[in-house]
Amino acid sequence: MSEDSKRAFLAVILSGVILFGWQFFFAPTPTMTKVQVEKAQEVSEENNVFTNTNNKLEISNTIQKHELGNYVISSNLEIVETKSLNSSKTLSDVFLTKSNKVLLKFEGSSVFQSVNFKFNKSSENEYSLISPKVSGKIKLLKNGFLDISLNSSTPFKIKYQLESKNETSESNIVSSFAVRNNQEFELITVGDSNEESGDLNWFGLDFNYHLFNYLLHEQKEKFAYRTTESNMFEAMSLNNVTSFSYQVFFVEKVYDDLLSFGHNLESAVNFGIWSIIALPILRGLQLFYTYIPNYGIAIILLTILIRLLTFPLQYKSFKSMKKMQVIQPELTKIKEKYADNPQKIQQETMQLFKKAGANPLGGCLPLLAQMPVFFAFYQVLFSAVELVNAPFFLWIHDLSAKDPYYVLPVLMSLAMFLNQKITPMATADPMQKKLMLFMPLVFGLFMKDLPAGLSLYILVSTLVGMLQQLFVFKKTA
C-alpha cells in the first residue's frame, strides 16, 4: 500500500473514531429500554401515602395539605403537586417518583427533623406559618414562584432532600439534578455519587425539558451538597441561622422564559462548551421562525446563511483544491520518476505544492470549519425545548428526534458521496479513492439515530457547499 493510501486509510479510521468517540463520550446515553409508565403507582413515606391511579392524584395522610395558586403544599412544606408556569405539564407528569423535603436541626439537637406548620391565611396569595419553634410565611409571587421564609429565636440549620427516579426519556434525555454553585452550572445524573460545597445559588430536578427548582440566590450561607446512588440529592447549610428564605417553582425550560426570571436560570438550558456558538444558532432559528413558522425551514435558511458567512474561508480552500487538480499530472510524473526513492518523491512533491500554491489539506479545512457548528447545532436540537415536537413536512413530526425512516441520513450520505465525486483528490491512487468512499457511510451510520434536524442541516450544508465549490472551480478555470 502506498504512503498516500496509508494516509487516506488513517484519515477514514480517525474520522470514524472522532465521530463515534464523540457520540460515546459526549452525546446523551441512549435508551436501552423504553421507560414504561405504570398507570398505578404507590409510594409510601412517613405519614404520607400518594396513590396515582389513572393519572389522578389522590392524597390520604395525617398531614394537612394547602393550596396556593397552582401549588399544593403539605404542612411540612413539601410541594405535593404544582403545574408548570409555562406548559400544560404537572410535577407528577414529568417526575414519576419524587420527594422534596425541608428538614431543620435546631441548636442543641443532633438530628434533622421535619417541622409541621399550622397555616393561617393572611391574604389570597399568602399564608403565615406557625409552629412551636419556627414561624414564617409562604407567599405566591407575581412571577409564579412560591416564596417561603422561616424565622426562629433558636438558631437552626436547614437541609433539603430531593429524590427522583433514574430514567431516560424516548428523546434520550437522562433525569438529572441541576445545580448552580459558585457561578458554575452542573448536571448530575440521578444515581451518580457526588459531593461538593460552596455558595449554592439554586438546585433542582431536571428531566424531559422541565425543571423543578429551589432558588437560594439571595442567601449568603454556604451549603454542602451531595448526590447518592440511591437517587437522592441533599443540600445542608453549614452554619446556624435564625432566618432563612427560598423560592420554589416548576417550569418548562424555554430559554427566554428562564432568562426573564434572572439568577442565571437560563444556564439550565445546557449548551455545554458550545454555548458561544449554540446561542446565536438558537437566536437565528427563532428569528427565521418568526417570519416562517416552521423550524425545518428555519434550519434550511440558517444553514444557507452560515454557509454564506463562512464562504470567504472556504473560497481559499476551494481554490487550493482546484490547484491540486491542475497539478495532478505532474504529481503522477514525480511518483513514476522517483518510484524507488520515497524521500525524493516527498521533497519534489512539496516543492511542487509550494510553486503551485496548492495545499493538500485544503479539502479538509471546510469540513473542520463546519465541525464546531455541527456540534453546536446538535446541542441546540438536543437542549432547546423550542424544537421539541416541531414538525417539518410529511414524515418528520419532530426535528429533535431521529428520522423514523432514515430518509434524511440516507440523502445526506448520498449528497456527501456526490460531493466527493466533484472534489479533487491529492492522488489518483485507486485504493485511496476506494477508502475515501467510506466517509459518507461513516457519517450516515453516525447520524441515523441523531435528531432529524441535524441530518437536515448537514444535507443542506453539503448541497450548498457543492454549489459554492462548482462556482469557485468555474471562476478559477
Question: Residue 348 pLDDT more than 60?
Answer: yes
Q: What does the pLDDT read at residue 130?
A: 95
**What is the mean predicted confidence (pLDDT) over 93-115?**
91
Minimal CA–CA distance to 133: which of 112, 151, 113, 148? 151
**What is the mean predicted confidence (pLDDT) over 98-111?**
92
- CA 328, 330, 336, 338 torsion-angle sign: negative
Q: What does the pLDDT read at residue 477?
A: 60
| Per-residue pLDDT tens digits for 308-324 | 988 877 777 777 777 77
Task: Report residue 36's pLDDT band, with 50, 70 and 90 as the boundaries.
Answer: very low
Pick the residue with more confidence: 471 or 204? 204
CB 271 within 8 A of CB 278: yes
Average pLDDT of the residues of the chain: 80
Q: What does the pLDDT read at residue 5?
A: 38
Query: What is each CA distance from 249 to 82, 140, 165, 184, 252, in whole angstroms?
Result: 8, 10, 19, 20, 10
**What is the mean predicted confidence (pLDDT) over 358-379?**
72
Question: Residue 59 pLDDT more than 50?
Answer: no
| Per-residue pLDDT tens digits for 289-310 | 999 999 999 999 999 999 898 8
Question: Residue 367 pLDDT more than 80?
Answer: no
In total, the chain counts a number of residues equal to: 477
This model's pTM is above 0.85 = no
Instruction: Tell me the C-alpha distance between 179 and 160, whole Å.
Output: 13
| Per-residue pLDDT tens digits for 396-448 | 998 988 899 999 999 999 998 888 877 766 555 566 666 677 788 888 888 88
- Please report, rounded to a whole number, the percentage of residues in the chain having pLDDT higher than 70: 79
Local structure of 126: helix, strand or coil:
strand
Instruction: Tell me the C-alpha distance between 452 and 399, whole Å.
Output: 5
Going along the chain from its start, the domains and CATH numbers come out as 3-29+276-475 (no CATH), 40-269 (2.70.98)
Instruction: Tell me the C-alpha distance between 88 and 101, whole Å.
Output: 25
The amino acid at residue 338 is Y
Q: Could you tell me the three cell numbers for 452?
A: 432529524
